[in-house]
Amino acid sequence: MDDLALSVRIARPEDAADLARIHIESWQDTYAGMISHSLLGAMSHRSHTARWQTTIKGPGTVLVAEDSQAGLIGLASLGAARDGGLGFDGEVYTLYVDPAFMGRGTGRALLAGAFDTFKDRKLRSCLIWAHARNNACFFYEALGGKRVATRTTRLMGELTPEIGFGWRQLVTRKQTRSLPQ
């Protein structure tokens, strides 16, 4: 595989359709066998595009990973931590990578961009919730996230076990790059 020429930037409203595509494709790839096929198949590009347009304009931040050849290949949404009882300042709400670009540094670049955004806002720590059976759990641990909590929530209407990964001190972009693949 050739190297990606990745950049991370803040999403613009015109990115919403690409974000919807990435969201749907990553869910259909990641959650096959965990979430019912009918629910995954019912994900609508139109409704997800509208949702991402609203999210981009909202109070949080949406970052995109862009490759100079392939265009948008990943996204992360983030903002203030929603679960104040755990003691984290910031939260990465979503981190999705186009399945065709998994394992090539896109998730790492997005997480580093999220940490940089938090630091710019004087936030010192971060929480991410992941489906307990999602392979991203290994990714978060490899990047220094510690298992700090568990919960059961509803994901597309189905009860879903989740694990919270926390960083009490955010790592710099340079430190994130040097962590094992």
Asked if the structure places residue 14 within a domain, the reply is: yes
Residue 25: which domain range? Answer: 6-178
The confidence score (pLDDT) of residue 173 equals 59
The confidence score (pLDDT) of residue 174 equals 53
Asked if the structure places residue 106 within a domain, the reply is: yes
Asked if the structure places residue 37 within a domain, the reply is: yes
CATH of the domain at 148: 3.40.630.30
- Predicted TM-score (pTM) of this structure: 0.90
- Non-local (6+) Cβ contacts of 90 within 8 A are 78, 79, 80, 81, 114, 118, 121, 123, 125, 126, 127
In DSSP terms, which residues pair with 97 in a beta bridge? 74
Q: Which of 165, 30, 36, 181 is CA-nearest to residue 108?
A: 181
The confidence score (pLDDT) of residue 37 equals 82
Asked if the structure places residue 119 within a domain, the reply is: yes
pLDDT (tens digit per residue) in 122-175:
999 999 999 999 999 999 999 999 999 999 998 777 788 999 999 999 976 555
**Could you tell me the two tokens for 110?**
């997005």
Asked if the structure places residue 1 within a domain, the reply is: no
Overall number of domains in the chain: 1
pLDDT (tens digit per residue) in 50-101:
999 999 999 999 999 999 999 999 999 999 999 888 999 999 999 999 999 9
